[in-house]
Structure 1
């Protein structure tokens, strides 16, 4: 029996053909979207630092994300044991970090990165978790302030 590896999905960016081997499983979902468990990263534009974290099963749910280190090179985070357990690793070489990007409607100058709720992805197993940062100094940062 042949295994299906490609699927067409509707996304916030339109119709996309995705590789099912690149789907990221979020066993606990994401904050505010706990029932959404399967996502794929889609390029918004080839030359953009931003990606769409698109829910494979819900075309209306897509979050703009980016690599925080592209904007905040000294960004640091703590990975709790419970999050490392979900990821199946605490090896930083196997973990990719992304953060959500907020762009207020009609006010792109107020675009901000949510550094307090990074999303960690085990690049080997394609398992992800959102890892809240409990440090009181943690904050979102406006891109214009970087």
Structure 2
């Protein structure tokens, strides 16, 4: 799946970046990774399925956000979190506080900042990191 998504509001720190292509990656790690790449390849991000790391992770998506993404069914939306790469994947972290919501049907996406103070912006990819 190489899917291109429109990010009308951009990403935190990259507000002008309005289009990213999502590509699954096959990495030797106990999680599912994706690459998000700008159209000309000048900017790229590593993203992960946070539910593989934190099975109890949850996000309450408000009706206004669902409207922005043109969500008709929850099955149409996938949720990923951005990874901050360190020296290795084992020492890298992910941002659980600001997940990416991607509508597979409408191809609209956004970064959603949760107000939950218990969520970390630097959650380890590996429990003992």
Using structure 1 for the length normalisation, give the TM-score.
Answer: 0.75
The size of the alignment, in residue pairs, is 125
1:104-130 CA-partner distances (Å, limit 9, x unpaired): 2x3544211110010001111111011
1:137 match: 118
Gaps of 5+ in 1: 1-17
Using structure 2 for the length normalisation, give the TM-score.
Answer: 0.84
Secondary structure of the residue that 1:138 maps to in structure 2?
coil
Q: Looking at CA atoms only, which structure, 1 or 2, has the larger radius of gyration?
A: 1
Moved over 4 A (4+): none
C-alpha change, 1:132 and 1:51, in structure 2 (3 Å) is: same
2:38 match: 55
Secondary structure of the residue that 1:53 maps to in structure 2?
strand
| 1:45-124 alignment runs, 5 A limit | 45=26, 49-57=32-40, 59-89=41-71, 91-104=73-86, 106=87, 108-124=89-105
Gaps of 5+ in 2: none
Q: How large is the Cα RMSD of the aligned pairs?
A: 2.2
Q: Give the deviation of 1:31 after TM superposition.
A: 0.9
